[in-house]
Structure 1
Amino acid sequence: MISKGISRRQILGGLLAGAAFSASPGFAEAPARSPRPVPRGGQTPALAATSAEALIAEAKLGAAAVASYVVMDAATGTVLEQREAQVAMPPASVAKAVTALYALTRLGPDFRFRTRVLATGPVVAGVVQGDILLVGSGDPTLQTDQLGDLAAGLAARGVRSATGRFLTWDRALPPVLRISDEQPVQVGYNPSISGLNLNFNRVHFEWKRANDGWSTAMDARGTRFVPAVRMARMQVVARETPVFTYQTADAADDWTVAAGALGKGGSRWLPVRHPAVYVGEVFQTLAKAQGITLSAPQPLQAEPSGQELAAVDSEALTEILRDMLRFSTNITAEAVGLRASGAADLAGSGAAMSDWARATYGVGCRFVDHSGLGSASRVTAQDMAQIIHQARASGLQPLLRDMGLRDAKGKEIANHPTRVTAKSGTLNFVSALAGHIRPPQGRELIFAIFLGDTARRDALPEAERESPPGGAAWLGRARHLQWQLLARWSQSYV
């Protein structure tokens, strides 16, 4: 096994926080009223005397918006306060908390994905007498640097070439072209999924001004390796909109981008729609750097077999899930959910998790995927709180993000004695938050908050879905409301 040269948290932090195509709009709309000041000493203002209805009205989420929540005693499950608790709402990424529970139950906390290089014949004088196979198990966390280490491991075995083909096998998971058909074509958080994944199935697109127009590059960059990519191609077109178009041809991703949107230069990650081709090409390039000559990758349909020459394992499932919940990586949720269910497609896998949640927790959730990206998933606040309450001994809470209460600007209040461990979720005009409120003393609380204006979301044209007008301001008000409710409950019921 080849050890990882860089921690996945470093990769995740850099990759997911990488430069976007354009900065997201700030909270441009003015708040409904002046935010309450935060007293000195890091304490939250007194909200216990303010009704939840007044806070919801202040947030001005829209006449058609639903504000649904439940707060209960963590020890007994007694509901202390609720509002619209039985209204089924899109859970957004809060669904990943259920996916984590599902994966832990079905796969176990020590489960690891393994990516292997196999040979169908012996190695004679550095030449494999047969085919070389790159075999995936669905690892959603595999990065270019680890793939480079895998190529180095092959070179360490003395391999320099093969008499046969270079084959890739990606059937450990069913192919998923995109998680959700509702999302704009260019968003990197809606990639394809297969048994071979790399860099969250995203390719790095960079552009710069050049004498004759624009210089562009597509690569699969890691920390130590930056291999160029040929299967993803970009053409700059003289237009203002749409910003991107996409077509697929001969297992390649063909993109165009509007010259009017490029500014002076920049970069962003784009989704990959042919993951096995992408991984195979990058591995071929990295192997060449190690002095190994491989033919162009070809897909293998049959179950692979052969002698293992090199392999790289993922971290244990608990660490994968911890990062998934912290960074809200959609591809990770879908890969672990698909692996846990063994279903033939994503819809069937979501249904299998729904059935499991119903049988395990007695709830009526409906999941169309494992990440919450599909807006057709539905969960009530009552059911989400019940899942968290019944799962207290499951090991989920230590995987959730731990934070203090937040002030009117959304900043965590330093050294606040009350802690919140929770998972958040966001879609356009949908915001969700669920988890635990843990005071320094007194009783622990469990909560679930679902806020959404689904009619406004559903009315968005595709061109506005990546950054809808008013969306960032709505989200800011929704998140502020959530933290006001948490502060109120921590003062009222602890």
Structure 2
Amino acid sequence: MDAPTLSRRFVLAGLLTSAASCSLAEAPERSLRPVAKPTGSNGQARHSTAAEALINAAKLDGKMGFVVADARSGQVLEAHNPLLPLPPASTAKAITALYAMERLGPGFRFSTDVIATGPVSGGVVQGDIVLSGTGDPTLDTNKLAELAARMRQAGVSGATGRLRIYEGALPHLRTIDPEQPDHVGYSPGISGLNLNYNRVHFEWKRAGSGYSVAMDARSDKYRPTVRTARMDVANRSMPVYTYEQRGGVDRWTVASKALGKGGSRWLPVRNPGAYAGEVFQALAAAQGVRVELGDPVARRPDGKVLARVLSDELSTVMRDMLKWSTNLTAEVVGMTASARGGRVPRSLRDSAGDMSRWLSARVGTNKARFVDHSGLGDASEISCREMVEALTTLAPKLGLRSLLKPIPMRNSAGKVLDGHPLQIVAKTGTLNFVSALAGYVRAPDGTDLAFSMFMADEPRRRRLSKAERERPEGGAAWNKRAKNLQLRLIERWAALYTG
């Protein structure tokens, strides 16, 4: 296993604990058996009372819709509110993956470069050194250290100018969704230069009557401290965190009564370019290349590229995004795909509008309206019919199915039912009082179904204050019932339409 893979997994394991996980749903433990396929006079199955009974038994307030279709022909077999637009949550990432794979191609790679604005003489750049990004959402501290080492191997030991950054390949956005609490790591800033999923590691330890704290950009190999994010411990119980931006620095406070003996968590970075530049300066200094930080540059310079690191191919980046549900990856890839059309988007909403129009042109949608590429913003909407249309027409051409995550069947206690006959691959989606699942299920006889299910109690979600949105009362129980319903419906469909 190579170092970049280790690094990526290390960062993902530490950073993405809040990503949507596979269902802990209740599922029948009986074997599948073939039953007759009910169809209407037009050959399309109607919503049955059996499915309605499952929906009623779940006792989910709000609205829901589902569509299940033959994955090969696209024929709809059963539906409930198929054209009702509902929030897709993170299943929107499946549409983003299709959008990016078509616009950019599966072999596309992001690059991060070190550029000299002048000639190199005696190891010294006669001008500035510019750290230039194209938005790579997977760039981590290990990769940045590799870039610094390659710069040194190119014979560079310093510069007459300064170290500057270029992050203008994408717009600089301070957060993905302004409605999220300030401290949640799944809504960080975005720019054309991103590092560690734009999260900084905060660690605290008891020290005498107080605490020692550290903010760093750690990986499994390095632990560079940062000054672009700072933490003060405040003598209070609530709120746990406060945030403000002052002097270009993310300034946090944390309640001492919430810290206990020690611990750590990842916090969002609001100035991604400055964060990456500071860490690169430290890693370059460790290689013997010492250069002062200067102001960012507005345009990518035309100078000599001294060193470069590349991301994995887009197909791999998309597989990881769909597995770990990384919001930053979705937004960066989506905006990069939009920019491939010749115009850099001004905002997430601007870029998501491009994706909405693209989907409409490809599958004839008229309900889908996206406000971002990750599904974090609950103003995004799509119908189950449109999602299934994308899964049965676009996805086979673009290889989406092979990128989706396996979803195991589980019993009511959350235990995986080993040897269960159904093979499910799908994208999950979870927001407060919103649950979604979209993908494919294959039965032992080869029956292949595509499905989407969206469930949302939007009035209850709207009543939440910003502070309640990390762990709302009743949210976990609602989500468990929703996930349970999803698996019950899948197993029912597989039994109903096999044989």
TM norm structure 2: 0.91
CA distance in 2, matches of 1:251, 1:328: 29
Which residue does the alignment assign to 1:407?
411
> Is 1:324 equivalent to 2:359 in the alignment?
no
What is the aligned counterpart of 2:68 among 47, 68, 71? 71
Which residue does the alignment assign to 2:126?
129
Q: Is the 8 A contact 2:11 2:219 kept in 1?
A: no
Q: Is the 8 A contact 1:136 1:169 kept in 2?
A: yes
SS, match of residue 11 in structure 1: helix
CA distance in 1, matches of 2:35, 2:434: 24
Deviation for aligned residue 1:470: 1.0
Residue identity opposite 2:377 in structure 1? G
Deviation for aligned residue 1:8: 5.7
CA distance in 2, matches of 1:94, 1:5: 27
Judging changes above 3 Å, is the alpha-carbon distance between structure 1 residues 436 and 133 closer, same or farther for their aligned structure 2 residues? same
CA distance in 1, matches of 2:427, 2:416: 15
> Is 1:252 equivalent to 2:274 in the alignment?
no
**How do 1:315-464 residues align onto structure 2 when only pairs under 5 Å count?**
315-342=312-339, 343-364=345-366, 365-391=368-394, 392-464=396-468
CA distance in 1, matches of 2:401, 2:167: 33
Deviation for aligned residue 1:359: 0.4
Task: Give deviations 1:136-168, integer Å, cap 9, x for gaps.
Answer: 000000000000111111111222111011110
Residue identity opposite 1:377 in structure 2? S
Residue identity opposite 2:29 in structure 1? V
CA distance in 2, matches of 1:50, 1:394: 36
Which residue does the alignment assign to 1:466?
470
Q: Is the 8 A contact 1:347 1:368 kept in 2?
A: yes
Deviation for aligned residue 1:7: 4.2
Q: Is the 8 A contact 2:16 2:324 kept in 1?
A: no
Q: Is the 8 A contact 1:368 1:376 kept in 2?
A: yes
Kindly report structure 1 stretches of 4+ aligned residues shifted beyond 4 Å.
43-50
Judging changes above 3 Å, is the alpha-carbon distance between structure 1 residues 114 and 36 closer, same or farther for their aligned structure 2 residues? closer
> Is 1:227 equivalent to 2:224 in the alignment?
yes
> Is 1:51 equivalent to 2:54 in the alignment?
no
Which residue does the alignment assign to 1:81?
78
For structure 2, list consecutive stretches of 5 or more residues without a partner in the other structure. Answer: 37-47, 340-344
CA distance in 1, matches of 2:436, 2:490: 13
Q: Is the 8 A contact 2:168 2:191 kept in 1?
A: yes
For structure 1, list consecutive stretches of 5 or more residues without a partner in the other structure. Answer: none
Deviation for aligned residue 1:15: 2.7
What is the aligned counterpart of 1:197 among 191, 194, 197? 194
Task: Give deviations 1:154-208, integer Å, cap 9, x for gaps.
Answer: 1112221110111100001111111111110100000110000000000000111
What is the aligned counterpart of 2:29 among 38, 42, 52? 38
Judging changes above 3 Å, is the alpha-carbon distance between structure 1 residues 351 and 36 closer, same or farther for their aligned structure 2 residues? closer
CA distance in 2, matches of 1:73, 1:91: 21
Deviation for aligned residue 1:126: 1.9
Deviation for aligned residue 1:238: 1.3
Residue identity opposite 1:436 in structure 2? Y
Which residue does the alignment assign to 2:179?
182
Q: Is the 8 A contact 2:134 2:170 kept in 1?
A: yes
> Is 1:481 equivalent to 2:485 in the alignment?
yes
Q: Is the 8 A contact 2:199 2:268 kept in 1?
A: yes
Which residue does the alignment assign to 2:342?
none
CA distance in 1, matches of 2:422, 2:27: 19
Residue identity opposite 1:321 in structure 2? M
Q: Is the 8 A contact 1:70 1:381 kept in 2?
A: yes
Judging changes above 3 Å, is the alpha-carbon distance between structure 1 residues 356 and 199 closer, same or farther for their aligned structure 2 residues? same
